[in-house]
């Protein structure tokens, strides 16, 4: 049994660009923003936008002087003129590929050519293109309409960017056979073509396909039509709550999505499908894994594993305090942070939020108890270990509140959470054990800290990339949002190379013992899970966390075998 997520599922370039423009404008002004019609065809995203005062408006009701966003579909020139007459501040989010088709129609109209559009007559994109066709335009949707269409002048045939490739080819063939003086331009978006082609391939390979997207989305409905046309059961859902129970009986399920579907919805649907497929022992294993991830116990196990590796690297004696303080602190502070991120969880991981709410009565006291015991054990082990632990706890508690006499909150510093998190992992798994065991920091402690910092920064960036679209919706300023996906990937790769280089140098110089070669498995693991994430082989928050953090306990067991 398996769930396979389409590589091309999710926001297309035009929709992503429109969303980014809207959210950037939202962050710059306190004014209410308006979009000419729904910004994208997805009810969940639209609901979040409305809560953030990004509201839909028609061209007739746009108020004078208001900020109006032209969505990716574009608009006709008369609409732009009306907005200008009302002194509206226009934010143009027209998809560049749609704008290209509009320019084609405009040039054809100026040359006296009639414009024929293969598309959906009532679609906003089609209306916008028709508005640019000065010599007149017509929209057709079927090959039958093409066979009956009479053209009395030279013509240009273009396509709605999300139209069916097969239908366009049939329409083009029918028109070419009847009208010699017609220029054909295939303007279907490459992303649409790739999405439809992958849907066809998946339909032939999978037992059933779940399509995630809004029912008002033309390209989402088209995916469903393509799949059902090939005889494969297809289920169109808007979220994980709409998945019908009968889907679970299929062995191999594919997941694809329309161009207006955010990654967080795709991830939630995929995770729900994995859960629905689980039976017997597999169901029990899934429940245990979900519990470990959602309770942050997997974080504690990962912290213990990295502490064991650090003890091996630094040749320390693995006493109780040495091994207990790091997982206790990191478990407690991660748990408190999870409680404080309810807004982002509502979008990215609603199952996590529900788990935290249902188990708050014992998880919250457990978090504070873990921090208290960590502080006590650190203080008993070493004065400086106690000071560092107390400082880290205070810093963690102040992270989301306004510090007296400070102008900004720490949480408002872009990327601060990732830097503080990686720093905390490095200090507690490498420096605190050394201070407790030896009372001082040796060169091996600094080398170990640098490796752990690099690896845990990559870990933090991976989680940020997974939650990128949801974090952007709630206004979080993570490193991928600040730098962009491309430079974040470059940063992740650089950190992996740095960790591998540091481990190699430490082994070559004898700073680490020969068994410390286990350190080289950390950057190798990071490369693997980043590759799996990029290829969408890991579906859902639980499996993602298990893939990223689940390898650390295995390394910890290996390190344990080499400890005295």
H-assigned helices in 33-164: 43-51, 77-85, 96-110, 124-132, 143-148
Q: Which residues contact 175 (CB under 8 A, 6 or more apart)?
A: 116, 146, 149, 155, 157, 182, 184
DSSP string, 106-118: HHHHHTTPEEEEE
**Residue 34 · residue 68 · CB < 8 Å:** yes
Closest alpha carbon to 262 in 191, 214, 221, 309: 214
Taking the C-alpha atoms of 306, 307, 310 and 311 in order, what is their torsion angle to the nearest 10 degrees?
-140
Q: Is 558 helix (H, G, I), strand (E, B) or coil?
A: helix
Catalytic positions: 125
**Residue 213 · residue 220 · CB < 8 Å:** yes
DSSP string, 393-453: HHHHHHTTSPPTT-SS-GGGSTTHHHHHHHHHHHIIIIIHHHHHHHSS--HHHHHHHHHHH
**Residue 115 · residue 139 · CB < 8 Å:** no
**Residue 430 · residue 452 · CB < 8 Å:** yes
Backbone φ, ψ for residue 116 (5° rounding): -110, 125
Closest alpha carbon to 70 in 52, 47, 88: 88
- 450: exposed, middle or buried (Cβ count in 10 Å: 0-12, 13-18, 19+): middle
Q: Which residues contact 180 (CB under 8 A, 6 or more apart)?
A: none
C-alpha–C-alpha distance, residues 155 and 172, integer Å: 12
C-alpha–C-alpha distance, residues 304 and 554, integer Å: 11
Question: Can you give 188-252 as a three-state secondary structure string?
Answer: CCHHHHHHHHHHHHHHHHCCEEEEECCCCCHHHHHHHHHHHHCCCCEEEECCHHHCCHHHHHCCE
């Amino acid at each position: 049994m398996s769930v396979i997520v389409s590589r091309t599922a999710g926001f297309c370039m035009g929709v992503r660009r429109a969303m980014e423009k809207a959210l950037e404008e939202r962050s710059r002004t306190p004014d209410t923003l308006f979009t000419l019609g729904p910004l994208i065809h997805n009810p969940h995203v639209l609901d979040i936008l409305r809560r953030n005062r990004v509201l839909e408006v028609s061209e007739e009701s746009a108020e004078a002087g208001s900020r109006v966003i032209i969505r990716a579909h574009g608009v006709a020139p008369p609409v732009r003129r009306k907005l200008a007459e009302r002194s509206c501040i226009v934010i143009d989010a027209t998809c560049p590929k749609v704008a290209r088709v509009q320019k084609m129609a405009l040039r054809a109209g100026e040359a006296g050519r009639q414009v024929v559009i293969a598309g959906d007559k009532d679609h906003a994109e089609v209306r916008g293109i028709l508005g640019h066709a000065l010599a007149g335009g017509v929209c057709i949707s079927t090959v039958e309409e093409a066979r009956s269409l009479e053209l009395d002048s030279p013509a240009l045939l273009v396509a709605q960017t999300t139209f069916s490739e097969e239908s366009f080819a049939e329409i083009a063939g029918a028109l070419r056979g009847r009208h010699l003086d017609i220029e054909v331009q295939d303007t279907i978006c490459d992303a649409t073509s790739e999405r439809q082609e992958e849907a066809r391939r998946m339909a032939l390979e999978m037992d059933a396909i779940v399509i995630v997207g809004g029912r008002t989305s033309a390209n989402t409905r088209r995916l469903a039509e393509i799949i059902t046309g090939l005889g494969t059961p297809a289920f169109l859902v808007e979220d994980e709550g709409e998945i019908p129970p009968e889907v679970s009986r299929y062995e191999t399920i594919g997941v694809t999505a329309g161009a207006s579907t955010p990654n967080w919805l795709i991830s939630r649907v995929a995770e729900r499908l994995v859960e629905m497929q689980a039976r017997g022992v597999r169901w029990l294993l899934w429940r245990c894994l979900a519990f470990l991830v959602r309770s942050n116990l997997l974080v504690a196990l990962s912290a213990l594993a990295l502490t064991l590796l650090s003890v091996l690297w630094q040749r320390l004696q693995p006493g109780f305090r040495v091994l207990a303080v790091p997982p206790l602190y990191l478990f407690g502070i991660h748990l408190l942070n999870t409680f404080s991120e309810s807004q982002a969880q509502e979008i990215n991981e609603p199952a996590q939020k529900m788990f935290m709410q249902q188990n708050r009565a014992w998880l919250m006291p457990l978090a504070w108890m873990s921090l208290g015991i960590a502080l006590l054990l650190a203080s008993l082990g070493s004065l400086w270990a106690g000071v560092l632990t107390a400082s880290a706890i205070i810093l963690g508690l102040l992270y989301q509140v306004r510090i007296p006499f400070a102008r900004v909150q720490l949480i408002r510093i872009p990327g601060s959470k990732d830097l503080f998190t990686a720093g905390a992992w490095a200090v507690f798994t490498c420096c605190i054990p050394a201070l407790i065991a030896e009372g001082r920091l040796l060169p091996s402690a600094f080398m170990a800290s640098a490796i752990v910092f690099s690896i845990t920064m990559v870990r933090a960036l991976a989680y940020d990339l997974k939650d990128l679209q949801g974090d952007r919706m709630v206004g979080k300023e993570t490193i991928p949002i600040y730098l962009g996906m491309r430079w974040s990937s470059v940063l992740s790769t650089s950190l992996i190379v740095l960790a591998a280089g540091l481990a190699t140098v430490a082994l070559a110089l004898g700073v680490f013992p020969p068994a410390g070669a286990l350190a080289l498995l950390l950057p190798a693991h990071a490369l693997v899970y980043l590759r799996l994430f990029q290829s969408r082989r890991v579906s859902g928050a639980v499996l993602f966390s298990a893939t990223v953090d689940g390898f650390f306990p295995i390394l910890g067991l290996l390190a344990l075998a080499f400890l005295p």
